[in-house]
Structure 1
Amino acid sequence: METQTFANRQAALRRLTGALRGGRLLAKRLGLLAEIRKAGIPRYTGASAIAVEGRTQAETKSFTFGGRSHRLECATVLLPSLGVT
């Protein structure tokens, strides 16, 4: 589940030359995305209204994607430090 949108990715293309200079990191990210795709793991980009629910630990996460509400069971939630409030 990712909060980035198609428009965010399009805007990032302006910085492609800088990303290419960090070739190893870019290759690693592309490799990880390929592994996710190969494993058949759904990828939700542009998710919003994200919530983690549970009494004493994470049990489910809910979010909106493609205009529909989704709810997934989980035991662990990782939050990147980008824009988390």
Structure 2
Amino acid sequence: MLTDALCIRYYQRLTDALVESWQRGNRFTELQLYMDGYIASLRHSNALEPYLIHRLEEEVFRFLRDSSNFELAFPQTEVEADYY
């Protein structure tokens, strides 16, 4: 679980970008490459401590493996029940 505020912001940005990229038609391999590049840029810029980057990488990879994060949400119509 992420507890650092800056790390949580990076997580939100990265996962939002992954979902948006999925909706544009990119597939798992492209998403994984994007994630790897994002994590590499964080390591290169020293934006976070290395252990936080490692935690972030684990959490984002867990997010990426969960297919329910990439399903389109279709609103369900409410069906009126006939009560007698």
Is TM more than 0.5 here? no
Q: Which structure dedicates a bigger proportion of its chain to strand?
A: 1
Q: Radius of gyration: which is bigger?
A: 2
User: TM-score when scaled to structure 1?
Assistant: 0.28
Which has the higher relative contact order, 1 or 2, with Cα contacts under 8 A spaced 6 or more apart? Answer: 2
User: TM-score when scaled to structure 2?
Assistant: 0.28
